[in-house]
Structure 1
Amino acid sequence: MIRMLMRVLGREYAQPLRRTVALMTTTAVAEGLSYALVVPVLRALFGDTPEDAWPWLIAFGIVIAVYAVLRYVSDLSGFHVGTELLRGMYHRLGEHLGRLPIGWYNAGRLGEISVLASRGVLQAMSVIAHLLAPFISACVTPLTIVVVMLVFNWQMGLAALVAVPVVAAIQIWTGRSMVAGDEERAERDEQATGRVIEFLQVQPVLRAGGRTTERFRLLDDSLRDVERASRRSTFSALPGAVGLTLVVQTMFTALLVLGAYLALDGDVGVAEILTILVLAARCADPVLSLTDIGGKLRGARSVLAKLDTVLQTEPLPEPAEPLQPDGHDLEFDSVTFRHGDRTVFDHASLTVPQGQRLAVVGPSGSGKSTLLQLLARFYDVDAGAVRVGGVDVRAMDPEELMARIAIVFQDVYLFDGTIEENIRLGRPDADEADVRAAATAARLDEVIERLPDGWAANVGEGGALLSGGERQRVSIARALLKDAPIVLLDEVTSALDPVNEAAVHEGIERLMAGRTVVMVAHRMRTVQRADRVIFIDEGRIVEEGSHDELLRQGGRYAEFWNISMAPAVRD
C-alpha cells in the first residue's frame, strides 16, 4: 500500500511521508509501553503500602502526557502531509493529463477521470490524514503490549503472541475474499450513477412518449444490481469480522484461564494477573477495528491503482531537439492510422500549400474529423508522416505546434466564466482593443449588446446560458484573437439557424483570410469557398480537385453535391 502510494505521488514526497510514518509508529509504541507502568501501580495498591503508588502514578501521568504530545504532533503531521500530498497529487495528475494525447480522452475516460479527480483523489489521500494513524496504532500498539506481557510473564505473553499470526491470516484472507466483491460494488455504483444521469437526460423523450409516471426499467435494474452487489460484499465481509471477534474473545478467555491457573499455583501475583488482563483487554479494541480500517484501505488502494494506471499512461513522445518548421504548408505523406481494430487511413497522401484552403468531404465515418486531429497531433500516425512547414509534427515542440494552429470544432465548450474570459483563452496576454476587435470580427458584439451584463455576462458551465450559434461566435472570436497561421475547421454551421449561420460564416471568412485552412464540410455550400476539395471514403482519398473539376468528373463528389442541393432545388 505504502509502495503504491509512493509510486503514485512521486519521489519528492517520500521523505515527509516516511517521517510521518516513523512519528506515528513511535506514538503507537509509546502508547503500548505506557501500559507497562500499570504493573508497579497495581503492585503498590495491592501491597502493604498503597501510598507507594504515588510515584508510579506520577510517572504514568508524565508518560501519558508525552504520549498525548506525540499523538498530537503525529496527527497534525498526518493532516499537514495529507494536505500537501493532496495538492501535489492534483498538480501531478493535472500536469500528466495535460501531456496525454487529446485522442486518449473518450467519453468513458472522461467519466472515469472526473470521478478520480474529485472523489477518488480525496479518498486516496485521506489514507495519510485519517487512516494511516489508526492503522499503525491498531497494528503496533497491540504488538508492543504483547512484548510488555512477555517481559512480565512469559507464559501469558506467549499465549497472547500465538494470536498474532492468526489475526494476520484472517485479515489477509478477508482482504482477498472481498477484492472481487469490492470491485463489483464499485462497478455497479458507476453504472447506477450513469443510469441516473441518463434518466435525467431522457426526460424529454419519456415525456414526449407519454411515460411521465412509468418507472425507468434500466435505472431500476441497475439499482437492483447495486443492491445485490452490496449484499454479496457484506456477506463476504461477515466471516472475517466474526472470525476476528472469535479470535480476540478466545485469546482473552485463554489468558483469563491461564492467569487464574498461574495465580492459584502461586507463580504470579494478583497485581500482575490484573495488569496482564487489562493489557489484553486494551489489545482487543484496536485489533477489532482492523476490519473497518481494512475495508477503507482496500477502497483507497483500488483508487490508487486506477490513479497509477492513468499516471503510467505514456504521453506522446517529445523530441529532444525540436525542429522549427519553415512556413505553414501541410502534408500527409503516405499516412496509415488505425483506431482500435479499424484502419481509418491507409497510405493516404495530400498536400495543402501555404495560404490555400482545402475542403474535406466524405460519408460519415470516413475519417474527416480524424484528419484534422492528426494534423493537430491529437494522435500519432502508425506509418508515414504528418508535416507542417516541411517538419514532421513528431519532431516539433507540442506547444510550438499548437501555437501555429487555431481549431474551431462543431461542438463548442465554454468554461464557466465571462465571455471575455473565454475569448482570452486564445491569447491571454492580448490587450482589450484586440479582444474587442476579435469579438466584432466574429459578430459577437451584437450578442454582447443584448445581454444584461454585457462583457461581464456569465456563459454558464459549458456555455449553457448561450445558444449554439452564440457559442460558435465566441469560439471564432477566440480563434481570431489567437491569430494562428493554420486554421482547422470541423464544419461549424451544420446545426445553426439561418441568422446565426450567416453571422458565423462572416466570422469564418475573416478567420480564413490569408491562412492555411483545412475544413471538414458537411454542408456542401461550404466547399465552394475552398481552393481544392478531397473526397475521402474507406480510409482513402478517392477524388481530388477543385469544386468545378470534380463536378465535371461526375464521380462520388458530384453525387454528394447533387443530393445535397436537391432540397434547395425543390424549395
Structure 2
Amino acid sequence: MIRQLLRYSSPTAQRLLRAELMFIVATAVLQGIAFLLLVPLLRALLVGDMEASARWLIAVVGVCIGYVITTWFSSQIGMKASTELLDSLLTRLGDRLVELPVAWFSTDRSGLLAGLATQGAMFVSNTPYAILRQILTGFITPGTVLIGMYFFDWRLALAMTVMVPVLIFGYRRLQTAIGRSDAIHSDAVDDASGRVIEFARAQPALRSAGDATIADRLVDEALQNQHRAYRGLLISGGAGMATFAGLVQLSLTLLLVVGAYLAVGGSVDVPTLIAVLVLGVRFNEPIVSAGDLGGGVAVARTTLDQFDRLAAVSALSEPESPRVPDGWDVAFDGVTFGYGDVPVLRNLSFTAPSGGMTAIVGPSGSGKTTITRLIARFYDPVHGAVSIGGVPIPELGTAIVEAAVAPVFQDVYLFDDTILNNIWIGNPDLAREDVIAAATRARVDEIAARLPGGWDAPVGEGGSNLSGGERQRVSIARALLKDAPIVLLDEATAALDIGNEIAIGAAIDAIRSERTLIIVAHRLQTIMTADQIIMLDGEGGIRESGTHEQLLAADGPYARYWKERVEAASWQLAPPR
C-alpha cells in the first residue's frame, strides 16, 4: 500500500510521507524501548533496590522525552502529508480524466468518480496519519519488545516468538476478508450513487411520464444491494477482528503458562516474571489495536486499486511529433468500427470536402452518429483511417483534432452556470461583446431576453432551466464561437421550432463556405441544400452519394427516402367533424 501511496503522490507529498514514516518508526522503537526499561525498573522496585530504581527511572524518563518529541514531529508532518496527498490524488484524478478517451465515459461513471473524488480520496489521504501510523506502531513496538526480551529471558521470549507467524497469518486473513468485502461494497456504492444521480437528473422525464415505478425499482434495488454488501462487510470484518483478537490473547496465555511453569521450577525469579508478564500485556495491546485498524488499510487499498484500474485504462495513441494537416477536408478510407463484436461501419470510404456541407442520412442504427464521433476522435477505427487534411487523425494527435473540430450532438449538457459562460467556454480568450455577438447569431439573445438576469441568467444543472431546443441553441452558439474549421452537427436542429431552425440555418449558411460542415439530419431543408449527401445502407456501408438533384434523378433508395419525408411533412390532423 505504501508503494501505491507514493505512486500517486507529488514530489512534495512523497518527501513528507517518507519523513512521516521515518518518525513513525522512530516513535514506535522508542515506545518499545520504554516498555523494555520497565522490566529492570519493576524488578528493582520489587526487590527494594532504590538506587537502581532511580537509575532506571531516569532512563525511562529520557526515552519518554524522546518519544514525545518524535511523536510531535510525526503528527505535524503527518497532517501536512495528508493535505499534500489529498491534493495529489485529486490532481492525478483530474489529469487522468482529461487523458481518458471520451469513449470511456459512454458508460455512466458518475458514481465511481464521485466516490473517488470525495470519500475515497479523503479516506486514503488520512490513512497514513490516522491508521497506518497506529498499525506500524502496533507491530514495530512489539517487535522491539520481543527482541529486547531475549536479553531478559530467552525462554519467555521464545514462547512469544512462536505466536508471531500465527499472528501474521491471522492479520493477513483479516485484511484479505475485509478487502474482498469492501471491494464488493464499493462497487455497490458506486452503482447506488449512479442510480440516485440518474434518478435526480431524470426527474423531468419521469414526472412527464407520470409513473416512476421502474426508476423507483432500479434505485431501490441498488440501495438494497448496497445494504447487503455493507452488512457482509460488517460480518466479515467483525468475525475477522474477533478471530485476530483471540489469537493475540492466545499468545498472552501461552506466555503466562510458560512463565508459571518456569517460576514453579525456580528457573525464573518472581520479580522478573511479574515484570515480564507486565511487558507481555503491553506487547499485546498494540497488536490488538493494529488488528482493529487493519480493515481500514484494506478499505484504503480498495480505493487505491480503483485508481490503479483508472490508470490502466488505455488512452488513445498520441504522436511524439504531431503532423500539420494540409487543409480541412475529412476523409474515411476503408473504415471499420463497432462498439462490440458486431461492426457498425464496414469498409466505409468517402470524403467531405473543405468549404462544403456534407449531409449524412440513413436508417436508425446505420452509423451516422458513429461517423461524427470518429471525426471528433472519441474513438479510433478498428481498420482503415479517418484523415483530416490528408493526415490520419492519430498522427495529428487529440489536441489538434479537438482544436479543429467543433461538435454539436443531440444530447446537450450545459454547466450549472450562466447562459453567457456556457457559451464563453467555446473560446475563453474573446471579449464579452464578441461572445454575445456569436450567441446572437444562434438566436440565444431571445432566450437571454426572456429570462431574469439576461445573459447572466443561470441555466441550472445540465441546463434544466432551458428547453431542449434552447439548450441546443446554446450549444450551437458555443460551436460558432469556437471558430473551428470543421463543424459537426448531429441532429443539432432536431428540437428547434421552425422559426429558430430557419435562424440557425441562416447562421450555418453564413459560415459553410469557410468550414467543413458534416451534418447528420432528417430535416428536408438541411438535406436538400447540402453540397454532398451520403446515404448509408444500414449495414455499415454507403448505398448512394451525390447531390440532392443527382440522387433524385437516379430514382434509387434516396429518392424513395425523400418522397417518404415529403409525404410525412405534409401530414396533418383531420379537422374535427
Q: When the two structures are superposed, what TM-score results if normalisation uses the length of structure 1?
A: 0.91
Using the TM superposition, give the Cα deviation of residue 159 of structure 1 relative to its aligned residue in structure 2, in angstroms.
Answer: 1.1
**Number of the residue aligned with 2:360:** 360
**Number of the residue aligned with 1:149:** 149
**Number of the residue aligned with 1:120:** 120
Contact 1:435 1:481 in 2 (8 A): yes
Structure 1 segments, 4+ long, off by >6 Å, are 201-215
User: Which has the higher mean CA deviation after the structures are superposed, 404-413 or 258-267?
Assistant: 258-267
Using the TM superposition, give the Cα deviation of residue 10 of structure 1 relative to its aligned residue in structure 2, in angstroms.
Answer: 7.5
Rate the CA distance shift 1:18–1:209 in 2: closer, same or farther, 3 A.
closer
* Alignment size in residue pairs: 571
Using the TM superposition, give the Cα deviation of residue 114 of structure 1 relative to its aligned residue in structure 2, in angstroms.
Answer: 3.5
Contact 2:188 2:225 in 1 (8 A): yes
Contact 1:188 1:222 in 2 (8 A): yes
Q: Secondary structure at the match of 2:349?
A: strand
Rate the CA distance shift 1:333–1:457 in 2: closer, same or farther, 3 A.
same
Contact 1:27 1:70 in 2 (8 A): yes
Rate the CA distance shift 1:503–1:276 in 2: closer, same or farther, 3 A.
farther
Paired amino acid for 1:549: Q
Measured in 2, the distance between the counterparts of 1:214 and 1:445 equals 39
Contact 1:491 1:521 in 2 (8 A): yes
Instruction: Please list, as runs of the form range in 1=range in 2, the aligned pairs for 1:10-49 lying within 5 A after superposition.
Output: 14-49=14-49
Contact 2:111 2:190 in 1 (8 A): no
**Number of the residue aligned with 1:306:** 306
Measured in 1, the distance between the counterparts of 2:207 and 2:41 equals 76
Rate the CA distance shift 1:131–1:179 in 2: closer, same or farther, 3 A.
closer
Pair 1:493-2:505 in alignment: no
Using the TM superposition, give the Cα deviation of residue 266 of structure 1 relative to its aligned residue in structure 2, in angstroms.
Answer: 4.1
Rate the CA distance shift 1:149–1:224 in 2: closer, same or farther, 3 A.
same
Please list the CA deviations of residues 139-182 of structure 1 after superposition, one character each: whole Å capped at 9, or x if unmatched: 21111121222222212111111121111111223333455433
Rate the CA distance shift 1:202–1:531 in 2: closer, same or farther, 3 A.
closer
Rate the CA distance shift 1:132–1:181 in 2: closer, same or farther, 3 A.
closer
Q: Secondary structure at the match of 2:386?
A: strand
Measured in 1, the distance between the counterparts of 2:446 and 2:543 equals 43
Please list the CA deviations of residues 201-224 of structure 1 after superposition, one character each: whole Å capped at 9, or x if unmatched: 676787788878999555554444
Paired amino acid for 2:571: R
Rate the CA distance shift 1:94–1:201 in 2: closer, same or farther, 3 A.
closer
**Number of the residue aligned with 1:570:** 571
Rate the CA distance shift 1:526–1:232 in 2: closer, same or farther, 3 A.
same
Measured in 2, the distance between the counterparts of 1:451 and 1:216 equals 33
Pair 1:408-2:408 in alignment: yes
Measured in 2, the distance between the counterparts of 1:546 and 1:206 equals 42
Unaligned runs of 5+ in 2: 573-577
Pair 1:546-2:542 in alignment: no
**Number of the residue aligned with 1:91:** 91
Measured in 2, the distance between the counterparts of 1:284 and 1:497 equals 76
**Number of the residue aligned with 2:78:** 78
**Number of the residue aligned with 1:560:** 561
Rate the CA distance shift 1:298–1:374 in 2: closer, same or farther, 3 A.
same
Pair 1:244-2:244 in alignment: yes
Q: Secondary structure at the match of 2:366?
A: coil
**Number of the residue aligned with 1:419:** 419
**Number of the residue aligned with 2:575:** none
Contact 1:137 1:286 in 2 (8 A): yes
Q: Secondary structure at the match of 2:514?
A: coil
Paired amino acid for 2:542: I
Measured in 1, the distance between the counterparts of 2:178 and 2:405 equals 51
Rate the CA distance shift 1:30–1:522 in 2: closer, same or farther, 3 A.
farther
Q: When the two structures are superposed, what TM-score results if normalisation uses the length of structure 2?
A: 0.90
Please list the CA deviations of residues 506-562 of structure 1 after superposition, one character each: whole Å capped at 9, or x if unmatched: 444445452110011133332123111111121101110112222333333233323
**Number of the residue aligned with 1:132:** 132
RMSD: 2.8
Using the TM superposition, give the Cα deviation of residue 55 of structure 1 relative to its aligned residue in structure 2, in angstroms.
Answer: 4.4
Using the TM superposition, give the Cα deviation of residue 348 of structure 1 relative to its aligned residue in structure 2, in angstroms.
Answer: 0.9
What percentage of residue pairs aligned between the two structures are identical? 43
Measured in 2, the distance between the counterparts of 1:218 and 1:399 equals 39
Using the TM superposition, give the Cα deviation of residue 341 of structure 1 relative to its aligned residue in structure 2, in angstroms.
Answer: 0.7
Contact 2:195 2:222 in 1 (8 A): yes
**Number of the residue aligned with 2:65:** 65
**Number of the residue aligned with 2:380:** 380
Q: Secondary structure at the match of 1:131?
A: helix
Measured in 1, the distance between the counterparts of 2:447 and 2:228 equals 53
Q: Secondary structure at the match of 2:190?
A: helix
Unaligned runs of 5+ in 1: none
Using the TM superposition, give the Cα deviation of residue 197 of structure 1 relative to its aligned residue in structure 2, in angstroms.
Answer: 4.8
User: Which has the higher mean CA deviation after the structures are superposed, 27-36 or 40-49?
Assistant: 40-49
Instruction: Please list, as runs of the form range in 1=range in 2, the aligned pairs for 1:383-394 lying within 5 A after superposition.
Output: 383-394=383-394
Measured in 1, the distance between the counterparts of 2:338 and 2:520 equals 20
Q: Secondary structure at the match of 1:570?
A: coil
Paired amino acid for 1:375: I
Measured in 2, the distance between the counterparts of 1:479 and 1:211 equals 37
User: Which has the higher mean CA deviation after the structures are superposed, 236-245 or 457-466?
Assistant: 236-245
Rate the CA distance shift 1:454–1:209 in 2: closer, same or farther, 3 A.
closer
**Number of the residue aligned with 2:327:** 327
Measured in 2, the distance between the counterparts of 1:565 and 1:466 equals 31
Measured in 2, the distance between the counterparts of 1:441 and 1:107 equals 34
Instruction: Please list, as runs of the form range in 1=range in 2, the aligned pairs for 1:147-546 lying within 5 A after superposition.
Output: 147-197=147-197, 216-536=216-536, 537-546=538-547
